[in-house]
């Protein structure tokens, strides 16, 4: 039996989809929820094989939840429910993640069921596909979250990059620093700088990525070196290497 979760903020759509899924004896609707945050909590408690995931939802949308699931060692299969245009649909297809268009069509769902059964039969891993999708969505701006965790905790926390003061790499660990909070992230600085919004984040030093919106001022030191002073309560100082100063000077209006 293939256990399914339906995530959609529209109750009629959930009920319609649950009825169509229930018509196939190989599938069982194990859970339904109206938002991504609740889905995340339920999936931690009771994982399923397949998630039908609406894209447009409040609090955490379907793309953000998919990006979060990419961090799992064994994520469920995902089928997006979308009204997106053909261009976006092709992006999903490129990662071999299926999609269905609203309103749901019984014949189209049969094709989805066949695809799911085949992937489960072959025990194909979907983690790499989700990671790739998550990176593309971050680049496009569709996903605005980074996944982090508190030290000595396995619970994953969704981080809005706009709230991050800076990311720091120390030894083999990368941390996201917010006002009054420090979270460990699983990506390298090299991966983060490629995913974050280029106009809003810079790498002033090999060990740091800084949110430009959080920079209060630039302080000159010696031999054409500088420091960035941030707007947080501690007025954190971030080193700015000489060979990166010209690039960042062009990006800051308060230099």
What's the CATH code of the domain at 13? 3.40.50.2300
pTM of the model: 0.59
Q: Per the domain annotation, does 153 fall within a domain?
A: no
Q: Tell me which residue range forms the domain holding 73.
A: 2-140
Q: pLDDT value at position 96?
A: 46
Domain with residue 242: its CATH number is 2.40.50.1020
Q: How many domains does the structure of the chain reveal? A: 2
Same domain for 231 and 118, yes or no, is no
10-residue mean pLDDT series, the chain (255 residues): 95 94 96 92 93 84 80 84 63 63 90 90 66 63 74 82 94 93 91 83 94 91 85 94 79 65
Same domain for 87 and 202, yes or no, is no
Give the torsion sign (CA, 171, 172, 176, 180): negative
Distance CA 210, CA 217 (A): 13
């Amino acid at each position: 039996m293939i256990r399914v979760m339906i995530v959609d903020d529209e109750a009629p759509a959930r009920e319609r989809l649950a009825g169509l899924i229930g018509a196939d004896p190989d599938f069982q609707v194990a859970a339904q929820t109206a938002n991504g945050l609740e889905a995340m909590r339920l999936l931690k408690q009771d994982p399923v094989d397949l998630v039908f995931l609406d894209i447009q939802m409040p609090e955490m949308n379907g793309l953000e939840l998919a990006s979060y699931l990419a961090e799992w060692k064994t994520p469920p299969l995902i089928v997006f429910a979308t009204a997106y245009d053909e261009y976006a649909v092709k992006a999903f297809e490129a990662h071999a993640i299926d999609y269905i268009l609203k309103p749901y069509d019984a014949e189209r769902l049969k094709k989805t069921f066949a695809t799911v059964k085949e992937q489960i039969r072959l025990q194909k891993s979907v983690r790499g596909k989700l990671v790739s999708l998550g990176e593309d969505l971050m680049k496009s701006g569709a996903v605005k979250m980074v996944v982090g965790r508190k030290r000595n905790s396995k619970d994953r926390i969704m981080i809005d990059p706009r709230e991050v003061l800076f990311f720091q790499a120390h030894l083999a660990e990368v941390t996201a620093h917010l006002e009054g909070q420090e979270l460990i992230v699983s990506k390298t600085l090299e991966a983060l700088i490629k995913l974050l919004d280029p106009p809003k984040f810079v790498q002033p030093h090999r060990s740091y990525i800084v949110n430009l919106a959080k920079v209060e001022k630039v302080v000159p030191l010696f031999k054409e070196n500088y420091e960035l002073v941030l707007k947080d309560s501690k007025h954190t100082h971030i080193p700015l290497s000489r060979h990166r100063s010209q690039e960042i000077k062009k990006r800051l209006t308060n230099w």
